[in-house]
Amino acid sequence: MTGDLRRNIELKARLRDPALAHAAAQRIATEYVGIERQIDTYFRVPHGRLKLREIDGGEARLVGYERPDDFQAKASDYRLLPVIEPQRLKELLTASLGVVAVVDKRRTIYLFQNVRIHLDEVAGLGSFLEFEAVLDLTAVDAAYAAAAGHAQLAFLSGEFQLQPDDLLAQSYGEMLGVKSTQSG
């Protein structure tokens, strides 16, 4: 159900060779989803992270999530809420909370079983890869589901030839926020 707690095991990395990553995704994917242009507006919040995701030609969603800033694969707990009037909500949240960053990205999406593979071109930052193993929180053994998600991401990391220094801990919004603070 919408708004209910969901969980991913996720991993984010900088891409050294986007062409190699696209070839690996095409080789290993169980499904090609397509390409989306996404605008994520990150808001200042005292706890967790909050962003409004607007997809060209698609539905807008408010996404609240919590996850540790860790370079390794980690759990991310999140909630999604469909938004009917994204511009008005963005204005309200901007006035109330303030904006940390706006992320403009072109995302190519593949699936490998229950793992979403995102190949992202992020304006102002570069090329990235993100794995999200979607867990079933209704599973009888949630610990087993999480362990399976970690194993899938380890397998995919090998297939995409990720190196430890490629791994990232922060969100794109935080990376852009730090970049604008350093250049301003």
Q: Which domains does the chain have, with CATH numbers?
A: 6-183 (2.40.320.10)
Task: Tell me if 63 sits within 8 A of 53, measured CB to CB.
Answer: yes
Give the DSSP letter string of 118-164: EEEEETTTEEEEEEEEE--TTSS-HHHHHHHHHHHHHHHHHHTT--G
Question: CA 150: distance to chain centroid?
Answer: 16
Nearest to 93 by CA among 38, 36, 54: 54
Instruction: Return the higher-pLDDT residue of 178 and 23.
Output: 23
From first CA to last CA, the distance across the chain in angstroms is 42
Q: What is the mean pLDDT of the chain?
A: 91
Pairing of strands 126-134, 74-83: unpaired
Residue 140 has pLDDT above 70, yes or no: no
pLDDT band at 179 (very low <50, low <70, confident <90, very high): low
Q: How confident is the model at residue 19 (pLDDT cuts 50, 70, 90)?
A: very high
> Strand locations in 28-152, DSSP E?
31-43, 49-55, 60-66, 74-83, 99-112, 115-122, 126-134
In this predicted structure, the answer to whether residue 173 has a pLDDT above a threshold of 90 is: no
Q: Looking at per-residue confidence, does 96 or 136 come out higher?
A: 96
Rounded Cα–Cα distance for residues 138 and 155 (Å): 24
81-114: pLDDT as tens digits: 999 999 999 999 999 999 999 999 999 999 999 9
Is the model's pLDDT at 153 over the cut of 90?
yes
Residue 152 has pLDDT above 50, yes or no: yes
Residue 5 confidence (pLDDT) = 87
- Measured CA to CA, the distance from residue 11 to residue 111 in angstroms comes to 15
Reported as a single tens digit per residue, the pLDDT across 61-73 is: 999 999 988 899 9
Share of the chain above pLDDT 90, in %: 77
* AA letter at 89: L
State the maximum Cα–Cα separation within the chain, in Å, rounded to a whole number.
50
- Give yes or no for a contact between 13 and 162, defined as CB atoms under 8 angstroms apart: yes
pTM of the model: 0.90
